[in-house]
Amino acid sequence: MHTSTFRLSELVARFGGELIGDDIVISYVAPLDGAGVGALSFLANPKYRNQLADTQAEAVIVPAAAKDATDRPRIVAKDPYLYFAQVSSLLNPPQRLAVGVHPSAMVAASAQLGVNVAIAANAVVGEGVVLGDNTEIFAGAVIGDGVIIGAGSRVYGNVTIYHGCVLGKRCTVHSGAVIGADGFGLAWTGQDWFKIPQIGRVVIGDDVEVGANTTIDRGAMADTIIEDGAKLDNQIQIAHNCVIGKHTAIAGCVGIAGSTRIGAYCTVGGAAMFVGHIEICDKVHIAGGTLVSKSITKPGAYAGNYPMAPRDEWLKNAAHIRHLDALATRVKALERQLSNKNEE
C-alpha cells in the first residue's frame, strides 16, 4: 500500500534534474519491467533501454543520452540510479520505534539517555552507556557497559555491542552483528595457547552501516577503527586492530585479518580475503574473490581469481602450476644456453 505521493515537479525541486512531459503524481518506485500505475521507474544501465518501450511505469528517470527515448513523463538526471535511490528514500522512510523504554527492557540506572530515545522489548543497556538523541535500540539488542552511541543511530534486534565500544552519529547496525568481541590473540607456550587480553575497543565513525551477522573484533591494545561513511555488508569478519578508511564499501563474506589498514574510498567485492599486517592505499577497488596477500600502494582496480574450469581440467592445470618454478628454472637455463651459442 502506497501512502505517500509526490508530483514530479516536487521531486525536481528536491533533487534537481529536468522535467519533460506532464507533471503527474507518483506513489512508488519500481523496475522498468515490474512497474504499474503510480510507479516511477529509472534507466541506469543502457542494456535495459529496450524496456522503455514496454514499461507500464507512469514516469521514468533517464540520463541525458536517453531523454528522447520515450514519450512518457520523465526526469532527466545526471545519475539516474542515485536519483532513484533518493526518491526511494523519500517514499520509503525507515520504520521508527515508539519513543521510550519498553517495560521488558533492562536499562542500567547509570545509563544516560538523550531525548527521543527508543528502547524496545528485552533490550539490555549496561552501566554507564550513553545514547545520543533519537537513538533506537531494537528488541533483544545488548549494549555493553560504557558503550557510547551517537545521535540518530539505529541498533537492530539481537545486535551485541561489547563494553567500551563507540559508535558515531547516524550509524546503522543490522541484526546479529557483533561489535567488540575479542580479537584472535594467542601466544604459544610450547604446550598450549595462552590467550592475550584484548584491551582495545572498536571505534566507529559517523554514518557507518554494519550489515547483519558482521563481526568487528576489538583491538589487542590499540583500537579497531571504522571511519566515517564506511559501508559494510553482511557476514564480514574484521579482525583486531584493523582500520577501514572513510567511505569505503565492503561486500559480503569478506575476511580481513588483523592489523590490516584499508584506505578511504575503496571498494571490496564479495568473498575477497586480506592477509594481516598489510596496507591498502586510498581509492583501490578489489574484485570479488581476490586474495590480497601484500600491500597495495597505487590506486586502481585489482583482481586475483583463478578461473573456474571443469574439475578434471582444473586438476591438470593445478598440477602444472605446482611445477611452475621448476619450469621457469629450465627456461632460464635454456635461454642462457642459447645466449652462449649466439655469442660463439
Alpha-carbon distance of 220 to 111, in angstroms, equals 26
Q: What are phi and psi of 340, to 5 degrees?
A: -65, -40
Q: Would you list the domain boundaries of the chain?
A: 6-91, 100-302, 311-343
Q: Are 306 and 313 in contact (CB under 8 A)?
A: no
The residue to which cell 539481537 is assigned: 158
Query: Which residue blocks in the chain are alpha helix, DSSP H?
Result: 8-15, 80-91, 311-322, 324-343
Question: Which homologous superfamily does the CATH classification assign to the domain defined by 6-91?
Answer: MurE/MurF, N-terminal domain (3.40.1390.10)
Q: Positive or negative CA dihedral for 45, 50, 51, 53?
A: positive
Considering the candidates 240, 247, 277, 285, report the single residue annotated as catalytic: 240
CATH number of 100-302: 2.160.10.10
Q: Are 61 and 80 in contact (CB under 8 A)?
A: yes
The residue to which cell 540506572 is assigned: 109
Alpha-carbon distance of 249 to 267, in angstroms, equals 5
Global confidence as pTM: 0.90
Cβ-count burial of 96 within 10 angstroms (0-12 exposed, 13-18 middle, 19+ buried)?
exposed
**Fold: same for 6-91 and 100-302:** no
Q: Which of 233, 263, 269, 270 is nearest to 248 (CA)?
A: 263
2 catalytic residue (yes or no): no
Taking only the tens place, the pLDDT of each residue in 272-284 is 999 999 999 999 9
* Tens digit of each residue's pLDDT, the chain (344 residues): 566 899 999 999 999 999 999 999 999 999 999 999 999 999 999 898 999 989 999 999 999 999 999 999 999 999 999 999 999 999 999 989 999 999 999 999 999 999 999 999 999 999 999 999 999 999 999 999 999 999 999 999 999 999 999 999 999 999 999 999 999 999 999 999 999 999 999 999 999 999 999 999 999 999 999 999 999 999 999 999 999 999 999 999 999 999 999 999 999 999 999 999 999 999 999 999 999 999 999 999 999 877 778 999 988 988 888 889 999 999 999 998 888 877 76
For the chain, percent helix, then strand, then coil, each to nearest 5?
Answer: 20, 25, 55
Cβ-count burial of 208 within 10 angstroms (0-12 exposed, 13-18 middle, 19+ buried)?
buried
Alpha-carbon distance of 111 to 121, in angstroms, equals 17
Which one-letter amino acid corresponds to residue 58?
Answer: E
